[in-house]
Amino acid sequence: MEGSLNIVFIIVGSFIALVLVLYFLPINLWFTAQLSGVRINLLNLVLMRLRRVPPSLVVNAMITSTKAGLNITSNEIETHYLAGGHVNNVIKALISADKANIPLDFKLATAIDLAGRDVFEAVQLSVNPRVINTPPVAAVAKDGIQLVAKARVTVRANINQLVGGAGEETILARVGEGIVTTIGSAVSHKEVLENPDKISKVVLSKGLDSGTAFEILSIDIADIDIGDNIGAKLQTDQAEADLKVANAKAEERRAIAVAFEQEMKAKAQDARAKVIEAEAQVPLAMAEAFRSGNLGIMDYYKMQNIQADTEMRESISRPSGDQKKDKK
């Protein structure tokens, strides 16, 4: 019984040992590489296991690149993998660029990949340009008419500017700015409607793709719509504002006039009060004149007669309506 158990343990141990040997010695990968014309040392495959680099990834990448005529070493592929790059994407991008006669070396491809851009998609975009539709861009011509334009921008990737170059958002912003500038410099909106290609020529001549990861091939105006009459609205708003200012100034002048009128009335009342006060002093002065002997009784009667005559002449000289009022 014990002999049987020992045999089982030996078989299981041998199987485990064989699996470990085959794991650390990927003979099948080494043999496949040799048949594909890739010269790689078996010891390097073992060291890849120890460095936690998948040997199959490196071997397959080297086989693909060698068959495509690219000279890439296992050390370069391993270094890019350890840096967190996408090895398969880089290899496919290099093969596509080589077939399309696009200058792209391994160093630049890995730099683009590590920068967070899809290098294979960039190569495809360089071969097959892409059309970017701009959002509606509103601009106002010099005659005050608003125009809403939409453009189609055909771009292709600029491989050398993918690292550090601006993206699609910058292209759209620059094209929109160029459209606004071109429409705004037009004397009449009819001029833009008659020659929409003028916008494309002016915008394209400004070199809007400078410093970006794309090369602008063409800018085509897809649609132009007439918007609001901004000039008329501005004039209307200005007229309303001027009217409000004029009303405010008129109200200010009216308030000043009312205040001045009230001030004059107060001054008139003050003057009347002074007259009444002065008239009140006359009887006192006459009484004082009587006491001091400066005024006699006959002088007083003469003054009364003169005053009565004066009032009679004033009443005769007034119109009949005023006389009736006096009687009332």
pLDDT of residue 19: 53
Q: What are the residue ranges spanned by the domains of the chain?
A: 18-126, 128-227, 230-306
Q: What is the distance between the alpha carbons of residues 58 and 40, in angstroms, rounded to a whole number?
A: 10
Are the CB atoms for 155 and 132 separated by under 8 Å? yes
The first and second tokens of residue 93, run together, are: 């991008």
Please tell me whether residue 51 adopts helix, strand or coil conformation.
coil
Q: What are the pLDDT digits (tens) for 193-220?
A: 888 888 888 888 888 778 888 888 888 8
* Regions of the chain short of the pLDDT cut 70: 1-26, 295, 319-328
Q: What is the distance between the alpha carbons of residues 147 and 140, in angstroms, rounded to a whole number?
A: 6
SS3 content of the chain, % helix, strand, coil (to 5): 65, 10, 20
pLDDT of residue 36: 74
pLDDT of residue 187: 85
Instruction: Give, as one character, the DSSP assignment of residue 18.
Output: H
The position carrying tokens 């861009």 is 137
Are the CB atoms for 36 and 66 separated by under 8 Å? yes
pLDDT of residue 10: 63
pLDDT of residue 64: 86
CATH class of 128-227: alpha beta
C-alpha pair distances (Å), 8 with each of 5, 13, 15? 5, 8, 11
CA 225, 228, 232, 238 dihedral sign is: negative
The first and second tokens of residue 254, run together, are: 């009216």
